[in-house]
């Protein structure tokens, strides 16, 4: 099997390439630009992959409000180009999506199922949902919604939340982190393992794939510092105090029971276990 991993320089894309080994063909900027339709179709037609996994996305949530056309060119037009190529090749297409397509009041803390109505807020969230709808037109497709990914760093994409927290802890300054947004940050190798499993099945459709449990960004940071045994001046703030340009979901925890019900599906460890594995990796 030949598997095209689009966005191979990113955290998830590079981890998929590691796990898939010789079956993976990594594709990323500058040589592969998903916004160029002719180039996308030509390159993938040359490769003839059995699976295309799209991990590429415009993920700068705040800047998306200022640059909606740029965000849309990647998250909508780019996906449309990949969907066209997958249709021509009659191959399986995997689109990575986001918990941001949902939002619910914290007073209704029930994890979202795949069948729940989406409620995107902001340009980034809306474009991710549009990308899902384009993907759904294909017979052989997987839409994988996930959240707060962190894993091995790639120089092209900067640091993740865990690394950022650990760096701030060395500066002896108050670390202000939002404590009223609930989600499930997830360790990249666990998510990549689940995607590898899915593409070996014909159980096409939409799946929520995150680490188990739920937390806030503040409590996530607190657990990072606890496990790393690092004293930090952590300050809990509200979403209003953070004053981000687009609204963030107050509650976007994903229900993974559909994925977990698949025979022989690899387990999705807790978000605390994800931190432990990553901290161990950083020590190696």
Cα distances (angstroms) measured from residue 189 to each of 55, 89, 233: 14, 28, 30
Q: How far apart are CA 67 and CA 55, in angstroms?
A: 20
Peptide bond into 280 cis (omega under 30): no
Which are the contacts of 112, defined by CB distance < 8 A and separation ≥ 6? Answer: 99, 102, 104, 208, 252, 253, 254, 255
Cβ-based burial of 162 (10 A; exposed 0-12, middle 13-18, buried ≥19): buried
**In the block, residue with structure tokens 């503040």:** 218
Tokens standing for residue 256: 């993974």
Q: Annotated catalytic residue: which of 124, 182, 251, 259?
A: 124
Which are the contacts of 48, defined by CB distance < 8 A and separation ≥ 6? Answer: 2, 89
Q: How far apart are CA 231 and CA 246, in angstroms?
A: 32
Q: Is 207 a catalytic residue?
A: no
**Distance from chain centroid for Cα 105:** 22
Q: Which residues are catalytic?
A: 124
């Amino acid at each position: 099997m030949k598997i095209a991993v689009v966005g191979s320089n990113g955290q998830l894309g590079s981890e998929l390439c590691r796990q898939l080994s010789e079956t993976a063909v990594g594709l990323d900027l500058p040589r592969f630009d998903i916004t160029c339709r002719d180039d996308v179709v030509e390159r993938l037609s040359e490769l003839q992959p059995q699976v295309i996994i799209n991990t590429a996305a415009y993920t700068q949530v705040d800047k998306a409000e200022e640059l909606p056309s740029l965000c849309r060119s990647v998250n909508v037009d780019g996906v449309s180009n990949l969907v066209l190529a997958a249709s021509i090749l009659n191959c399986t297409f995997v689109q990575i999506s986001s918990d941001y397509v949902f939002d619910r009041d914290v007073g209704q803390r029930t994890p979202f199922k795949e069948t729940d109505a989406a409620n995107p807020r902001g340009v980034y969230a809306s474009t991710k949902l549009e990308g899902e709808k384009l993907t759904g037109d294909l017979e052989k497709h997987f839409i994988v919604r996930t959240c707060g990914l962190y894993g091995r760093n790639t120089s092209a994409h900067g640091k993740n939340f865990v690394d950022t927290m650990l760096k701030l802890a060395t500066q002896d300054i108050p670390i202000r982190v939002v404590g009223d947004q609930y989600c499930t940050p997830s360790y990249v190798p666990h998510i990549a393992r689940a995607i590898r499993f899915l593409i070996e099945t014909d159980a096409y459709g939409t799946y929520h794939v995150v680490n188990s449990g739920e937390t806030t960004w503040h409590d996530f940071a607190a657990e990072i510092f606890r496990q790393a045994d690092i004293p930090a001046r952590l300050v809990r703030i509200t979403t209003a105090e953070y004053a981000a340009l687009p609204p963030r979901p107050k509650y976007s925890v994903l229900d993974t029971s559909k994925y977990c019900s698949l025979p022989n599906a690899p387990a999705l460890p807790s978000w605390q276990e994800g931190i432990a594995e990553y901290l161990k990796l950083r020590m190696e």
